[in-house]
Every structure is written in structure tokens, then in C-alpha cells.
Structure 1
């Protein structure tokens, strides 16, 4: 028995402009396409359910190719600082949080970004001490590669002026050598190790809240990396199995596995691939550098606005190659976080030396490139996970970081596509807003919401079709599911993102006023406006 969806415009994504007006689904798969009349004539004896879409526009289900689902849930349930535009506003929110933290052992905040402040202020630990003198405070920067902590947190972590910078991290210090409370990359881990372990209920709550929100914005799935940060692989993975049960909750979660979580995954007798119809284990996640915001992205030459640093390599070249080698010995693909051009160079060298034999490697972010690096990528089996929304949030300040010449080949999504490289689109939530329409808008306009100009590096604008491909066919290709996901075609899964506007014909600014009508996963309505 099957379902007829009709009276909509179904964009197949098989070719630009191709659409049908009705789809017949059986057992969660698209069985046939055509008109309502044709499909009713052919399948009248087995159609048991019909859905009139009232003229809505149907896309293959949008999938975020790179995010942190539980982290997104934490942003929703913790103090969210991502929209703060003034340092004083941030201080006031922290004061209010502290006053209401009677039962809290720590004060947490998520997503602050000094580049949004007119004075670009970074709080000193002494200022945080005034707000929370007797409770440790941990405030994650928007990039999640830096954090602010107060003196209480430093004391718990044993960080003093004598503490050496950890490998792959920086303890920022004042002119007297005293820690300021600003920690970069692996230095954050010194404090994180002292934060009480999260409970199973906390993980489950954050995950449930996150998945509900992802469905609300039209996402049917996401490629996420969470399995190393919440008490280990088993505790976290078990909650994915419970929350996304395939009955009450359907959502396609593709889980990258941090290289430090692989051993526990193997102890639990799990391997890469499909675990349930809605949960898969994917490539080995490795960080090669940090982020541009905190100047920890690893560059070949120093930052233009701070020549004293070229960023931070999380691993030495030898260590990175060994991690890739270990993955290959277990027949695994890798997914390497790489933002700076020096980090990308190191990542490419590693995967050139130890080529993938099964699956496709993933290069995540790929923000700073040049022609030589592009040519090397073209010769490899790689997928690039890009985040169009970074253009909206990182410009114009990122031009100060990289300088006039280097910026020309940075955030260059059009150049990457025209070079024949396969790209998938994501948000990196909670670092950026998770709404795929914001990513599509940024890819098409190269502006932030409310800005009225031709776009940052307008020659790198994508067409609406190219932008939608990132979140449909691109995300499917990234995990070798291009023959069953990402298109509206026979044999493909019945996952649909249904909107009230045609993204291919409306004015770019109208993308922001487009509404999600329904989100369909496995032929099941998981969200309805």
C-alpha cells in the first residue's frame, strides 16, 4: 500500500528546472512520478493515503553536511550569546545568568563573538570574577576553538603563569605572563577536563531539543560530530539510538567519529556504515587547525592583522599522517577539519601519502585555498564540506585577518565548484544558525541578513540551483548515498522539504521570508507548520 503526494511542484534535482506535480511512494521510497491523474490511474488499487500540498514547493529533503547536533541543543538550552552586539549587553546577560544560577555548579555561555562588538572587546578574567566570584565560568566563543574563563575555573584546572601551552593550544597571557582567562584550542581542554560529566538525561534532552529544531527548519538529516565530548562514545551513541528510534522520531543522522573515540567504538563492536535506517557511523574526524576568528586557523604566512602568529597546528605533520595511516589500516575514510591553507596542505599531504581505499575522504571548511591546493584536491577522492553562512558572519573582519591578496582565494565556493570539486553544504551549528535557508541565502547573495550591497567577492556567488544542490545532492554524495538520497526520483527515499516559495525564481531577499510547510522523513510528516 502506498501514498500519493500531489498538487505541488516537486523539484527532482536531476536537472535544473525539472519538476513534476505528483509523486507516488511505497515503503518509504519514491515509486513513481508524474501527474495526479496518471498516478491514480496506475496505482488506484494500492493508494491508501493522499496528501494535497495546496500548491507548495517540494525539494529533496535538505541535509546539513556538517554540524554538531548535541552542541546545537546545548545552545538552545544554555545561555546563548551568539546574537549579542555589545560587550555591555553580554555582561548584563552574564550577570542575570549568575543571579539565576542558584542550583548551578558552573556558569556556561555559548557563542560570543567579539567581532560583533564595536570595540571588539574580549573580557578579562578579572571582569568575569566580578560577575561570578565563587563559581567557575566557561564561555565558548562562536568558533568553538576558544573560550573565556574566570579565575575560579583557572584554579580548578591548575593553570598558572608557570603552566606551559599545551600542544595545539595557547593560554593567552598579559604583559606580565599571567593568564588572562582567554584560552585557544587545546588549552580549553585543560578546563573542560574539570567540568562535571554530563548526565545521560542531559545528553538526551539536548539531542531531543536539537532534532526537533532541525526538523522545524526543514532538515531531514545531518552529518554530525558529537561522539567524543559527552562522556564517551557509548553514552552518547546510546542516546542517538534512543532519541532517533525510527518510530516516534525519524531523522537521518550520519555520525562522524572523533579519532579519540574510535577505540571505544570498536570495543562496542560497531563499525562504519548503517546501524539503523536512520543512524550511520561515518568517517574518522580529525582536527588539523583552529579558526580564523581566534587566529588559530593555521596559515602558510602570518595573519595580516597580527604578524606575530600564523595560527595553530593541532597536530604535527608526522602525527597527522599517523592518524590518517591508522584510519587506513582499519579501512576507514577520514574527515579533516581544515580552515587555513597550511592546515589544508598538511591534510592533503597525509591523504596523498595514505590514499583512501573505501569511501570518500572529507575536507571540512576549506576556507583558505590557492590554485595549487585546488589542483591537488582534484586528484583525490574528496568531498568538501563548506558552510556558506560563514560569508555572512565572517565578513568584513576576515579581510583584516587575511589581507587583500589572500582573501581573493578564500571562501571561494564558486571557484571550487567550477574546478569540478564535489561540495556539500552545512552550517557548522551551533557556530552558525542551523537554518538551511540562511545558508542558501548567503551562498546566493554573499551578504548578511539586512545588508544592501553586491556581496562580498560577488564573483563567488552561487546560483539558487547550485546553492540548493549543496544541501541535497551534495550532502548525499558526501556519504556515498547519491543513488538513494538527495533527489526526487524513482528508488530514492521519500524525504521532502516542503516550502511555500520557489527558491529558484523568487528574489534572493525573499529566501529569508520563505516558510517551511512540512518536513517529511521516510514518508512521515515529522514537522508541519
Structure 2
């Protein structure tokens, strides 16, 4: 991981600014664990280094990135989040689930305890370029319709700008994250044949592959966590159903899945 990130950082296109990677799986690393901040400091100690876990539920971050985000021994772990720490409380580098809000900066996208924050700060021009690259890759393999299951104001703006400029070559169905439905004033099946809102995305627990799915019986050294306190997820799902919104809910642990099933059992089949 360190070698690949270092090679990436030395390319001309990525010689300044944050260094990012995606897709490490700690189960497949020789060490059998997540990269530490000290190890990622070998990539760069004067630039932020973040590498996203294959689950999409969090990052390993170098010391510079932790300091820049204000993640220290004294900062509390947000509800629904994970910050790996040493015996003195100092962060070791792994930031998962709701704790990822700390990595997006004071003006960045915030999700609270509604999901893992994957929305690291990016310029709108860079977002447009990434969307263009993704569309090209999908179309090259024959994929013409995609669903984005974690849309906030930032992603919606990017999709709308692409559509209005004639650059949206895919059909995109957006699932708006539960914490952003009200701010986006989503109250119906908005959209057209190119860009539409399909429903609302909810999260019940963390990820099995990341070691944060809710497993009260234990999964190695962790029992994972739920994103919401007792009754809250059920209330959110019932509210979505009452508003006539389709839902897509991430749930991996058996108890988390049961919470979703119980909530759907309370929800009306059709809104009143």
C-alpha cells in the first residue's frame, strides 16, 4: 500500500495536494490489519494521505491528515463512528463510519450519524472530471444506467450541472442520503429520463468487511455498532414510507437486518 501510494504521489499530476488511494482490504494484507498513520507517513509527512477501505466505510490516514482534521487523543469518537486509538487515546490512523465527518473540514459535507462520509473535499471542476471519467468507463462496458446510493447536495449539483451542459451521458438514479432529504426538499419522484430521484438511502450499521457491522455476539475483537439509537432508524424508515419514498437501507449484521424488517413491517404499503 505504501509503495503504490508513493508511486502515485510522485507522478506529475499528483505532485501537490492530498494523496488519495482506494480499495485496500486489510484481510488481504500480509500484516492482516489496517495501515497505520506512521506507515502512511512514509508516503508523505507534509501532505494529507488517505486510503479508503474496500468496504467504502472508512479510511486510513497519515499523521498530517489526522492533525489537519483535528483528530487528537482528546477528541471524542462520534456516535456511530470508529477511531482506532492506542492505550493513551492517541489515534492510530483508522477512521471509520460516522467519524469520517471529521475528515471533510469545517465547510465540507456532513452526514452526522447517517452513514460513512465518503465526501472528501473536492473542487467542482475535479468532481466534473471524475464524473466524466466514470461515465466513459461505464459506457465502455455497456452500462447505460447507474444508481448513486449516497447523494448529498454536492453530488446533486454535479449531476445537474452535467445534465444542463449536455454532459450526462448515463441515466442516473439518485438515492438521497437520509440526513439530506429535508435540505434538498425532496418530496416526490423528481427528475426526467436522464436524471431522477429514486428514493432515500439509510444506514443501519457498519460493514462486515470493515469490522464495524453490528454483531453483539462478537466479530473478532469488535462488536461493531449501529448508526442510530433505539427506535430512531425505524422512525426514519416509517417517515420515508409515509412520504411515499422508496428506501434503500444498508444493514449487514443479523440484528441490524431485523431492525429494518421490523420497521418495514410498521410502514404502510402506500402513503395515506
Map 1:171-210 onto structure 2 (within 5 A): 171-193=83-105, 197-210=121-134
> 1:177-234: per-residue Cα shift (whole Å, max 9, x none)?
3210111211122112367742222222111211121121121212222422xx6354
Map 1:52-71 onto structure 2 (within 5 A): none
> 1:413-463: per-residue Cα shift (whole Å, max 9, x none)?
xxxxxxxxxxxxxxxxxxxxxxxxxxxxxxxxxxxxxxxxxxxxxxxxxxx
CA distance in 1, matches of 2:104, 2:256: 25
Contact kept, 8 Å, 1:233 with 1:265, in 2: the verdict is no
Contact kept, 8 Å, 2:201 with 2:247, in 1: the verdict is yes
Name structure 2 gaps, 5 residues minimum: 109-119
CA distance in 2, matches of 1:322, 1:346: 11
> 1:151-196: per-residue Cα shift (whole Å, max 9, x none)?
1111122111122211001110123332101112111221123677
SS at match of 1:130: coil
Specify the alignment match of 2:249 in structure 1: 336
**Structure 1 residue 151 and structure 2 residue 63: aligned?**
yes
**Structure 1 residue 165 and structure 2 residue 98: aligned?**
no
Q: Which runs of 4+ in 1 moved over 4 A?
A: none
CA distance in 1, matches of 2:248, 2:155: 17
Specify the alignment match of 1:257 in structure 2: 176
Q: Which has the higher relative contact order, 1 or 2, with Cα contacts under 8 A spaced 6 or more apart?
A: 1
Match of 1:287 among 189, 203, 207: 203
CA distance in 1, matches of 2:168, 2:9: 35
CA RMSD, Structure 1 to Structure 2 (Å): 2.3
Contact kept, 8 Å, 1:317 with 1:346, in 2: the verdict is no
Contact kept, 8 Å, 2:5 with 2:20, in 1: the verdict is no
Residues matched between the structures, number: 258
| 1:256 CA displacement | 0.8
SS at match of 2:184: helix
Specify the alignment match of 1:498 in structure 2: none
Under a length normalisation based on structure 2, what TM-score does the superposition of the two structures give?
Answer: 0.85
Under a length normalisation based on structure 1, what TM-score does the superposition of the two structures give?
Answer: 0.46
Higher strand share: 1
Structure of larger gyration radius: 1
SS at match of 2:262: helix
Map 1:219-298 onto structure 2 (within 5 A): 219-228=143-152, 232=154, 234-242=156-164, 245=166, 250-266=169-185, 271-273=187-189, 275-298=191-214
